[in-house]
Amino acid sequence: MSFYEHLTAATAADRAQLFAAPVVADCLQGRVTLASYLAFLGQAYHHVRHTTPLLMTLGGRLPERLSWLRRPVAEYIDEEIGHEEWILSDIAAAGGDADAVRASQPDLPAEVMVAYAYDLLNRGNPAAFFGMVFVLEGTSVALALQAADRIQQALALPNSAFSYLRSHGTLDQQHTRHLADLLERMTPADQADVLRSARVFYQLYADVFRTLPSAEEQPCS
């Protein structure tokens, strides 16, 4: 069993908790509301805008034993830079106020998740940051394309309102294969820290979803 396979199996219960969030169940059953989708995009903006700064910090914090990761991290930066602007474009295309989202503050769960990521890089083992990569990209692969189809069908929104979900759903399929190779090269100690952080990030990301308005809390759109 590869480490990626072990990581996937060891976090199965944590992943199930995320997928059990009411708004996720609503979406997969075609009961999503416009308010829920816009709320999701708003919180996605607040953590995705930190992706590039986090990766840049990671590149500068890698110890010598992980110096081989600098080139892959640079490639991640090149691929991820500017994706928060996709989200703002989607918000506008869905009828939301992109300028208001840009000027807003994140809800507490998104703020805590980002803060934990920075803390890992500045106080903990930088390798553990890949636990966040595993959680966010794995969730994207599992849900993004299917969610985009269900949301579009339910809300009759244009294709231009789904650039983030559809682009990431496809891009992250490539990233997960690359991530598996990177994780396999890590030492057992670094892999253990990745597993621990992945479990934490599943809880933190689940909190982001649990605070989004569910269909029961919103009138149908």
Confirm whether 220 is domain-assigned. Answer: no
Confirm whether 85 is domain-assigned. Answer: yes
- Tell me the pLDDT band of 220, cut-offs 50, 70 and 90: very low
CB 44 within 8 A of CB 91: no
Task: Name residues whose C-beta falls within 8 Å of residue 5's C-beta, 6 or more positions apart in sequence.
Answer: none
**What is the spatial distance between Cα 121 and Cα 31, in angstroms, rounded to a whole number?**
38
Task: Name residues whose C-beta falls within 8 Å of residue 202's C-beta, 6 or more positions apart in sequence.
Answer: 11, 14, 15, 17, 18, 135
Confirm whether 33 is domain-assigned. Answer: yes
Q: Which domain holds residue 12?
A: 3-215
CB 40 within 8 A of CB 91: no
Condensed to tens digits (0 to 9), the pLDDT of residues 166-205 reads 887 566 566 678 899 999 999 999 999 999 999 999 999 9
Q: Is the pLDDT of residue 70 over 80?
A: yes
Confirm whether 154 is domain-assigned. Answer: yes
- Tell me the pLDDT band of 23, cut-offs 50, 70 and 90: very high
Over range 153-169, report the average pLDDT: 90
CATH number at residue 185: 1.20.910.10
**What is the spatial distance between Cα 136 and Cα 146, in angstroms, rounded to a whole number?**
16
How many distinct structural domains can be found in the chain? 1
Confirm whether 37 is domain-assigned. Answer: yes
